[in-house]
Amino acid sequence: QKEVEQDPGPLSVPEGAIVSLNCTYSNSAFQYFMWYRQYSRKGPELLMYTYSSGNKEDGRFTAQVDKSSKYISLFIRDSQPSDSATYLCAILNSGNTPLVFGKGTRLSVIA
């Protein structure tokens, strides 16, 4: 079993829809959870950073962590064509260890 599983999509939704992106992980030692957005030929941009179970909201984005189920989600409200990108979940242990990434989900928001 891979450390982080993420459905690669592609996912296509109409403008204004609520988007739900999800990842599961296998190692209960993981402590920090991140979501990145990556546009084509650009570096990943950090959207959300959380370290506890529950919800964290930032504008149209909500990150949700369920440590008991080892399940993390990113919700995008009122999706826009500019949200079309690849979304990567990433999980981190303590110390200076590298991120463990999901494969990324390609999202297209259709106007």
Partner 1 sequence: GAVVSQHPSWVICKSGTSVKIECRSLDFQATTMFWYRQFPKQSLMLMATSNEGSKATYEQGVEKDKFLINHASLTLSTLTVTSAHPEDSSFYICSARLRGRGAFFGQGTRLTVV
Cα gap 94→55, rounded to integer Å:
21
Cα gap 109→79, rounded to integer Å:
7
User: How many residues in the shown chain lie near partner 1 by CB under 8 A?
Assistant: 20
Cα gap 7→88, rounded to integer Å:
10
> Could you tell me the smallest distance in angstroms from the CB atom of residue 32 to partner 1?
7
> Could you tell me the smallest distance in angstroms from the CB atom of residue 37 to partner 1?
11
Q: Which is nearer to partner 1, 28 or 96 (CB)?
A: 96
61 binds partner 1 (CB under 8 A): no
